[in-house]
Amino acid sequence: MVKFEKMHGLGNDFVVIDARERPEGLSESLVTAIAHRHMGVGFDQLAVIETGHEDAHLVFYNADGSTSAACGNATRCIARKLMQELGRDTLTLTTERGTLYAKDAGNGLTSVNMGQPQLLWHEVPLASEIDTLELPIEGAPTATGMGNPHCTFFVKDADQIDLETLGARFEHHALYPQRTNVQFASVIGENHLRMRVWERGVGVTLASGSSSCATAVAAARRGLTGRQVQIELDGGTIWIDWAEDGVWMTGPTMTVFAGTFTDDFLEASK
């Protein structure tokens, strides 16, 4: 039997498989079958918990079967689960992005340090050597790496943007050889942003932790906000602090249900 849990952070939803005791091999076809919102479970990302040198190692998959080095909201959800299981208020997790630190922020909120942002063109990565602050793309977006690439547009009203059309277009822009997450953000108050997001390999999502971090970093670099911001996403509110030791993000999490995949489903999804 393959067990799973369904979780979400601000509507950014995940299937989580705990493979610490029983390693699970996940093919691209199985990942995309689980991702199907009518014939599977449905998710923005799938996360696998594995044993590691620290408290746990996390591996992330997008809905199209591709992998991602980072997934902020999934990391927060899993950190909450593990802290409750272990009776701890701090954790150390590893991902392809690197070592991430998590803590209980009180009032049901969980914080994760997503590490230092990647601000140089080859770190994002971009296809050519160029200033990441304002890219030579219509709208002059900012490029940021958070273990995955981001392209952030600052607009007058993010709610008026045709996110599905523009997100799909810029995800595959030639400047981004690994594709990119795309954000549209508006300043709605002092250190207060409204943001909508298109995730590479997924599409429109209600929230994105790494995208929130990238947008906060981009806004601070462009002098639009300070380094501590509140961001209003389609799924709720997240708080970002670009501190000396990295970018901390804080928000709520939820475990919705647990289940087991049937043998018939696993066989049909090979």
Q: Are residues 191 and 153 in the same domain?
A: yes
- How many residues appear in the chain? 270
Q: Are residues 61 and 102 in the same domain?
A: yes
Does the residue 127 lie in any domain? no
Q: Are residues 175 and 239 in the same domain?
A: yes
Q: Are residues 229 and 261 in the same domain?
A: no
Does the residue 194 lie in any domain? yes
Alpha helices (H) in 36-114, listed in sequence order:
72-86
Q: Are residues 187 and 106 in the same domain?
A: no
| E strands, 22-134, in order | 45-50, 56-62, 67-68, 90-95, 98-106, 109-113
Q: What angle do helix axes 209-221 and 72-86 make, rounded to 10 degrees?
A: 120
3-class secondary structure, 210:
helix
CA-CA distance, 103 to 64, in Å (whole number)? Answer: 31
Q: Are residues 205 and 230 in the same domain?
A: yes
Two tokens at 199?
A: 């995730």
Contact 166, 152 (CB under 8 A): no
Q: Are residues 185 and 227 in the same domain?
A: yes
Cα angle 191, 208, 228 (rounded to 5 degrees) comes to 20
Does the residue 182 lie in any domain? yes
The enclosing domain of 235 has a CATH number of 3.10.310.10
Give the Å distances, CA to CA, from 114 to 16, 17, 33, 147, 192: 19, 21, 29, 9, 20
Does the residue 125 lie in any domain? no
Does the residue 219 lie in any domain? yes
Q: Are residues 95 and 160 in the same domain?
A: no
Count structural domains, the chain. Answer: 2
Does the residue 136 lie in any domain? no
CA-CA distance, 124 to 149, in Å (whole number)? Answer: 5
Q: Are residues 90 and 54 in the same domain?
A: yes
H/E element holding 221? helix 209-221
Does the residue 160 lie in any domain? yes
Q: Are residues 27 and 88 in the same domain?
A: yes
Q: Are residues 237 and 262 in the same domain?
A: no
Does the residue 120 lie in any domain? no
Domain that holds residue 69: 2-113+253-268
pLDDT tens for each residue of the chain, 270 residues long: 899 999 999 999 999 999 998 777 789 999 999 999 999 999 999 999 999 889 999 999 999 999 998 899 999 999 999 999 999 999 999 999 899 999 999 999 999 999 999 999 999 999 999 999 999 999 999 999 999 999 999 999 999 999 999 999 999 999 999 999 999 999 999 999 999 999 999 999 999 999 999 999 999 999 999 999 999 999 999 999 999 999 999 999 999 999 999 999 999 998
Q: Are residues 154 and 226 in the same domain?
A: yes
